[in-house]
Amino acid sequence: MKVYADNAATTYLSKTAREVLIDALDNYNGNPNSLHSDGQLAQEKLDEAREVVAKCINAKKPNEIYFTSGGSEADNQALISAAKGLKGKGKNHLITLSIEHHAVLHTMARLEKEGFEVTYLNPQSDGIVAVEDVRDAIRDDTALVSIMFANNEMGAIQPIAEIGALCKEKGVLFHTDAVQAVAHLPIDVQEMNIDMLSLSAHKFHGPKGVGVLYARNGIKLINVIEGGAQERGKRAGTINVPGIMSMAAALKDGCDNMEVNMKKVAALRDRLIEGLKDIPYSKLNGDAVKRLPGNVNYSFEGVEGESLLLSLDNEGICCSSGSACTSESLEPSHVLLGMGVPIEIAHGSLRFSLDINNTEEEIDYIVEKVKKIIAHYREISPYWEDLKTGKRKHCLAE
Ligand SMILES: *Cc1c(COP(=O)(O)O)cnc(C)c1O
């Protein structure tokens, strides 16, 4: 059996998104900046797509939607704009979480090198930041709070509406990396007081290389890419109209069917969690309830996540052993470490990210294979032998 359970890394293009993309490559090939009819036809489609995105996150105006090359670029532009835009007003301080995506963390690190001060808050052990910790971190010179909507590795959903209200009260800009949440969870940028938001098409069955930065009107954006005057002068480069049309189709699908999809996917998630619970010395990472419908992140004591991942791949199961970027370096996940998971436990972690294409049969197959493979690795492991004989102490309960 072949099971794709790595949808947090990327999803497959939906049938609708694919059809729209192929059709647009042939029929909407004009440059929307051209005045001739081909260009204007493309411009109309672009306007339609902007409206779809605005509606899905309840932006006040479609002109608050800026198309980018993806979530990373949107994150970069949001942070750089807030930091550099407010520097002249004596605001030199930024707040974020230690468990953010590297698109946020590495941009923050660059801003630190340029003289900005950054506070990295740790979440609680359930993966969720305490709103009081955010409140305590805000200072007179704070320019921006950037806190992700939901975590890509362990799925915890942050108290975004409360943080938005807090930032509004304090007069601080609020950005959220909502790449894992858009089209999967209800989002209302007005009600939640979100000033800027990043999203990415390939995390909801759209194409790769397309995303959005939402920026509330009145926020001054600073270009990350200089050139032509596309996107109201804030993002240069000939516009990827087919990719954007395809993204809009995928987004509309996700937003129109959200309630049904959430229910279906959460049921699959809970079935998987239930199945893995039988494995001794194992633990679910992240809050069990306030979590993405499709995310299951589990730690198994005494085994290496990478070995598990490769053995599962041999059985046809695609999953992840941490974030896609850290898995190459074999460093334990900064997300699990940030929420206080001991290093040896973080090393033995797997992430399954499910979506509407998965089935109950696939979940049962995953459970069967994970149980078999873990039992095998533990049997041949000297480390496990030490745990059994009491030479080492268990970190997790049986
Ligand atoms: C995937 C991801 C990104 C990066 O998006 P790209 O479109 O691949 O650049 C950023 N943040 C989070 C939380 C993600 O999951």
Q: Is pLDDT larger for residue 88 or for residue 148?
A: 148
Place 324 in a pLDDT band, splitting at 50, 70 and 90.
Answer: very low
Pick the CATH number of 15-256 from 3.40.50.300, 3.40.50.1100, 3.40.50.720, 3.40.640.10: 3.40.640.10
Instruction: Classify 3-9+258-389 by CATH class.
Output: alpha beta
**pLDDT, mean of residues 185-205:** 98
Q: Residue 311 pLDDT more than 60?
A: yes
- Closest ligand 1 atom number to CA of residue 209: 7
Q: How far is CA 4 from CA 10, 322, 325, in A?
A: 10, 16, 19
3-state secondary structure of 39: helix
What average pLDDT does the structure give for the chain? 96
- Per-residue pLDDT of 248-295, as tens digits, reads 999 999 999 999 999 999 999 999 999 999 999 999 999 999 999 999
pTM: predicted TM-score of the whole model, two decimal places? 0.97
User: Which residues of the chain form CATH 3.40.640.10?
Assistant: 15-256
CB of 338 within 8 A of CB of 98? yes
Q: Residue 332 pLDDT more than 90?
A: no
Q: Residue 323 pLDDT more than 50?
A: no
Place 191 in a pLDDT band, splitting at 50, 70 and 90.
Answer: very high
347 lines ligand 1 (CB under 6 A): no
Report which of 393, 294, 379, 312 is spatially closest to residue 345, judged by C-alpha positions: 393
- Per-residue pLDDT of 99-133, as tens digits, reads 999 999 999 999 999 999 999 999 999 999 999 99
CA distance 333 to 343: 9
Place 45 in a pLDDT band, splitting at 50, 70 and 90.
Answer: very high
- The alpha carbons of the chain give a radius of gyration, in whole angstroms, of 22
Report which of 356, 334, 325, 343 is spatially closest to residue 254, judged by C-alpha positions: 356
Which one of 56, 318, 325, 395 is the catalytic residue? 325
56 lines ligand 1 (CB under 6 A): no
Q: Residue 16 pLDDT more than 90?
A: yes
**pLDDT, mean of residues 335-342:** 95
Q: How far is CA 300 from CA 231, 258, 259, 278, 284, in A?
A: 47, 32, 32, 11, 9
User: Which residues of the chain form CATH 3.90.1150.10?
Assistant: 3-9+258-389
- Per-residue pLDDT of 53-81, as tens digits, reads 999 999 999 999 999 999 999 999 999 99
Instruction: Check residue 325 and give its pLDDT.
Output: 47
197 lines ligand 1 (CB under 6 A): no
Report which of 148, 203, 232 is spatially closest to residue 355, judged by C-alpha positions: 203
Instruction: Check residue 328 and give its pLDDT.
Output: 56
Which amino acid residue places its CA nearest to atom 3 of ligand 1? 71
> Percentage of residues in the chain with pLDDT exceeding 90?
93
200 lines ligand 1 (CB under 6 A): yes
End-to-end CA distance of the chain: 30
CA distance 99 to 358: 27
Instruction: Check residue 88 and give its pLDDT.
Output: 85
